[in-house]
Each structure stands twice: as structure tokens, then as C-alpha cells.
Amino acid sequence: MRILHLLASPFWSGPAENVALLALAQREAGHEVTVAVDRRRTRVSAEEPVVPRLEALGLLDDGGLELSVKSPPWRMARDVWRLRGRRVDVVHAHFTHDHLVARWGRPRGAVVVRSVHAPRSLRPSLPRADAYTVPASSVITRLVGRRVRVLPPLVDARFRPAEDRAALRRELGLGGEPLIGMVSTFQPSRRHALGVEAFARLRREKPEARLVLVGDGELVEPVRERVRALGLAERVTFAGYQREDAFARWLRALDEVWILGLGNDWSARAAAQARASGVRVVAVEEGNLPALADAWVAELTPEAVVAASDSGARVLTRPADNARIAAEILDLYAQAKAGP
């Protein structure tokens, strides 16, 4: 099949990595696959740009689509016209903007598949598609009567257990037992403030514990101020934004990860990456986290986070491999092409 993914974003964040890994797995299964992204916003200051990543993977689409939410109406109309002239079998749209372009620019003979990456995208105005994917089984009921599958997070091969975790921690300058991490952008939905309060409570019973915060974002300084106010500066490491192999090294050095909220990708990719790295996952019950967590946080309080951390619960199953996930989505495409 000839597959075109539409991702109207200039950022390597949110669902971008999952889309790229799905496209790679589909290509490895023998299909012709490219990914079109936002080509209008070329200056990305706060986050990593997506174009260089897709270029390096050989996935970047060069079909002339601007695909930007910042495009004026006439440029969006040009995208519709250009998409209509493409020769593809499947147009897989990932954001609302993509879905609108795909809905009006559907190439002759192609099916349109829409991935819903967060429940807020499920509005009454959601355009029709031939099939849908959702990030968690709990969302399926909101698409009753439509062809739908769960698209779980795909995981890069770099996420694997540490061969010598103690040596890795020495290399990173980390000490402490247990070594707990939060790995996400500093934004309100990720609840770093709750994590810091929970860590302060945890240290009352485990004074040698250390918290590692990996990421950047608008709330770094407020969180840093709270850490200082609680007298935790010597026990909390701000690792900053880490990418690719460096991020995988920081992740596999941890004992457990606290995931206390999700952003614009409810597939819970960080939880799957942690599980693949042999790291225990303590998480709230949002999105796909219940399918990937070892222990669940019963309520959004420091006491509940500590209770989940202290529970010692561990689920030993590994996430599905990328080839299997790609095969299921390819089967969804085939069903969509076959019709009702």
C-alpha cells in the first residue's frame, strides 16, 4: 500500500514520535510510507523541530503540502487540491486540521483514517472517516458504530534495560535509593508540583531517595522554586531536555517513573518506554496508562502517590512490539478499503 500520514505540527513532541515509529514499521512491512508535517512554521524555539528527525529517517514527505494550522484559507485550499492529485491508497490523518484537509482532498480510490490522540478531539463536529484509531480502550465507546482500533504507543529499540545500572548512575552522577523520575514537559497537565510534594513526603520514610526531573517547559522555574522552599534542592536533579540516546540513558538509570498526567498524546508513550527499559511505572488512571502502569495512584494527593510507590506492585508483561502494532493498523486499513 501507499500510505501518507498527515501531521500538522512542526514539533517532535506529542504524537510525532509514535507516528514516525508506526510509519517505519509499516515501511519495514513492505509498504510505501511518508509523513507530511507543518512546513510553514520553520522557526521552533521552545521544542525540537520534527522536519530534521523525519529527514534522517527517510520519512519526510516532499509532496508540497504546507499542512499548517497557521495557513490562510487559500493555502489550505491549495493543500486540498494537491492532496487530491496524489496517488495513495491510505491517507492517515492525525490532527483535526489534517482530517479536514483529508476529508476535502481525498485522492481518488484512497481511504481516510483518523487517529484521535486525545479525547478532546472527539467533538460532535468530528468529520467522517473510513476508520479511526484511539489511544485507549476507554475511548472506543465514544465511537460506537464506527470502525475503530486502539493505537498503543510504539517504542524505539534504544529503550532497553540497563546492562549495569549502578555503573550508568555513576556516569550520570546520580545517587540515591530509590531513584525516582518524572520524564515530561513541565506543563500543568503533568502535575510536577504534585510529584514534588509527594517526593517530600516519601523522603520522611526514605531519606536517601532522589528525584530526577527530565524535561523543560514553562513551569521549570516555579517547580524549582518549590523544590527549594521544601528544602529538597540537594535531593532533586533537574536534568533538562534530553533527546534520543541520552534520554534513554537517563530513563534506564531510574528505579521507577511517576507519570501523574498526560499531555496531547494519551497513548502514554513514556510509560511504554519505561516498561521497555525495565523501570517500574507509577501512574494516574488517564488515557492508556492503566494498560501500562505497575501501580495506580488512587487520587491526586501526595499521600496517594506515595502509597502507590510503596505498594511494590509490579506487572511483568512487556508492551506489544512495533511490528505487531503496525500489522493491526494495516489490517484496519485493509478493512476500510474493503468497505462495510
Answer yes or no: is 216 within a domain: yes
CB 199 within 8 A of CB 180: yes
Please check whether residues 89 and 188 belong to one and the same domain.
no
Calpha distance 216→336 (Å, rounded): 40
Bridge partners for 281 per DSSP: 257
Neighbours of 311 (CB within 10 A): 12
Answer yes or no: is 272 within a domain: yes
Using alpha carbons only, give the angle 53, 55, 61 rounded to the nearest 5 degrees.
115
CB 276 within 8 A of CB 27: no
Answer yes or no: is 58 within a domain: yes
Q: In sequence order, which ranges of the chain are alpha helices (DSSP H)?
A: 16-28, 51-57, 73-84, 96-105, 165-172, 192-205, 220-229, 244-252, 269-276, 302-310, 322-338
pLDDT digits over 118-141, tens only? 888 888 878 899 999 999 988 888
Please check whether residues 10 and 69 belong to one and the same domain.
yes
Please check whether residues 177 and 306 belong to one and the same domain.
yes
Calpha distance 184→161 (Å, rounded): 20
CA distances from 83 to 69, 79, 298 (A): 16, 6, 47
Answer yes or no: is 254 within a domain: yes
Number of domains comprising the chain: 2
Whole-number pLDDT of residue 119:
84
Please check whether residues 231 and 112 belong to one and the same domain.
no
Quickly list DSSP for 24-39: HHHHHTT-EEEEEE--
Whole-number pLDDT of residue 222:
96
Please check whether residues 171 and 115 belong to one and the same domain.
no
Answer yes or no: is 327 within a domain: yes
Average of per-residue pLDDT values in the chain: 94
Neighbours of 193 (CB within 10 A): 16
Please check whether residues 140 and 181 belong to one and the same domain.
no
Answer yes or no: is 44 within a domain: yes
Whole-number pLDDT of residue 121:
84
Answer yes or no: is 252 within a domain: yes
Sign of CA dihedral 315, 267, 129, 3: negative
CA distances from 301 to 54, 182, 260, 261, 307 (A): 40, 16, 10, 13, 10
Please check whether residues 297 and 331 belong to one and the same domain.
no
Please check whether residues 27 and 144 belong to one and the same domain.
yes
pTM, 2 dp: 0.90
Answer yes or no: is 285 within a domain: yes
Please check whether residues 256 and 326 belong to one and the same domain.
no
Please check whether residues 24 and 100 belong to one and the same domain.
yes
Q: What is the pLDDT along the chain (340 residues), one digit of tens a residue?
A: 999 999 999 999 889 999 999 999 999 999 999 999 999 988 766 678 999 999 999 999 999 999 999 999 999 999 999 999 999 999 999 999 999 999 999 999 999 999 999 888 888 878 899 999 999 988 888 888 899 999 999 999 999 999 999 999 999 999 999 999 999 999 999 999 999 999 999 999 999 999 999 999 899 999 999 999 999 999 999 999 998 899 999 999 999 999 999 988 899 999 999 999 999 999 999 999 999 999 999 999 999 999 999 999 998 777 789 999 999 999 999 999 998 7
Whole-number pLDDT of residue 44:
67
Please check whether residues 173 and 133 belong to one and the same domain.
no
Calpha distance 141→194 (Å, rounded): 31
Please check whether residues 211 and 144 belong to one and the same domain.
no
Calpha distance 43→11 (Å, rounded): 10
Query: Which residue type, as a one-letter code, is found at position 102?
Result: A
CATH of the domain at 333: 3.40.50.2000
Task: Determine the structural domain holding residue 171 and report its residue range.
Answer: 165-310
Cell numbers representing residue 105 in the block: 482532498
pLDDT digits over 41-85, tens only? 887 666 789 999 999 999 999 999 999 999 999 999 999 999 999
318 φ, ψ (degrees, to nearest 5):
-100, 155
